[in-house]
Structure 1
Amino acid sequence: MPLQLVTVPCLADNYAYLIHDTDTGHTAVIDVPEPGPVLAALEAHQWRLTDILITHHHDDHIQGVDSLRARTGARVTGAAADAHRLPRLDLALADGDSLSVGSEQGKVLDVPGHTLGHIAFHFPQSRLCFTADSLMAAGCGRLFEGSARQMHASLQKLAALPPDTLICPGHEYTAANLRFAATLEPGNPRLISRSAEVAERRAKGIPTVPVPLAEELATNPFLRAHLPALKTAVGLPDADDVTVFAEIRARKDRF
């Protein structure tokens, strides 16, 4: 059976995620912005936490890790390249390495750009990918440490996953990201319908994530920098894809 997924709102606009293997009882959390909501979700489902998976070093993704480890005894996994600025790791992994949650094997994807040591966790059997602040719903993370070329390559790696993969990003930024996307593709019908759906969900306080990769491919401008229409929209009809991506990112930073 595929892993069960629970989306856990944290802080003002962060998300943690629980994944649970029914056969073994093993449960992992991806990122810990704060321990309280994660512990509440575990109690509500009567699950025992066995693993903590860390995507990157920013405080709003790791500041609850040590407290949650102390409460649960869970094993902490993160990027070997970032071990010096993460909570103490029990398992340090790199691009292409495997990890298991219960009976399901996942894979680590190196996705630098937002930070140099950012990783994602892909569980192909369950069609889940935890992308945190690399690929976000209708957007991507700011380039705090990496380059536009690095982030573009990271997003291309994620875009190559099966289109029915559920993308699980780290923040509730979808509505703002879609408003920006509409400045580039105002006539995109998928973008128009997605914006309406997101507005309805937010009005009801419902998370807008996870989201199928297919939806991202159809509406996320950072995955569409190769399209002639996007290149024309930013005034760079003859530019290479990375140059267009960098211009889109710069415009989003000013938006």
Structure 2
Amino acid sequence: MTPAPPTAVRRVVVHPDAPTLAAATAARLLTRLLDAQSTHSPVHLVLTGGTVGIATLAAVASNPVRDAIDWSGVHVWWGDERFLPTGDPERNETLARDALLDALSEVLPAANVHPMAAPGSTPEIRTPEDSAAAYAADLARFAPEGSSVPAFDVLMLGMGPDGHVASLFPGHDALRATGVSTVGVHGSPKPPPERVSLTFDAINAAHEVWLVVSGAEKAAPVASALAGDPVDRTPAAGARGRELTLWLLDADAAAGPTA
């Protein structure tokens, strides 16, 4: 797992409820994209799924500031995906297209959207490992010299009640994958059992990692992660940006004993 550099900053921002969290995160994301585009192009953004993650994308879609973004200069990636057929309603890609990406279809080039390959999408994609390898190759095409992944400007993550991020679950073999940017996941404790995920090597290469978390059931793992719990027990503790790790919480998620 790639450690955060000594200069990295961690911040915690708490909003009163989940709808406010989604709206505020959307506004923050649009501002961050605008700021990034003032200095470089392309901009690389990693999306997450989950209830609050998709609500955030819907809030981006309804925010008029979205039209100020040069979407032709934005590349969209995913932190993880369920290894399900294209168009399956449980795929993060499907949810993101419904919430935001379809609304940007005239301004966001299809070639800038990088979903993880679904089973059978090509004859070569038969297993989660096949999809992971294909995604690693796609990531590498946009990576700067010396890296295996693009210079992600913002990498968004949700967190489960067990403290998992992406599809890296407590005690799971995929959690410990190193030296690679992606990993196939089998036996996920949360259905479906087969998934594809970025590894911590890829996650921690991002300039900024945003963990967007809502709900009282998340309060204990949020507190554990912020207190530096072992990654094998609370994976979210290992998600760190090179420049900024930003925890965006609603009041319920922030109500743990040390949050």
TM-score clears 0.5: no
From the two aligned structures, give the one with the greater strand fraction: 1
More RCO (CA 8 Å, sep 6+) = 2
- The alignment's TM-score, normalised by the length of structure 1, stands at 0.40
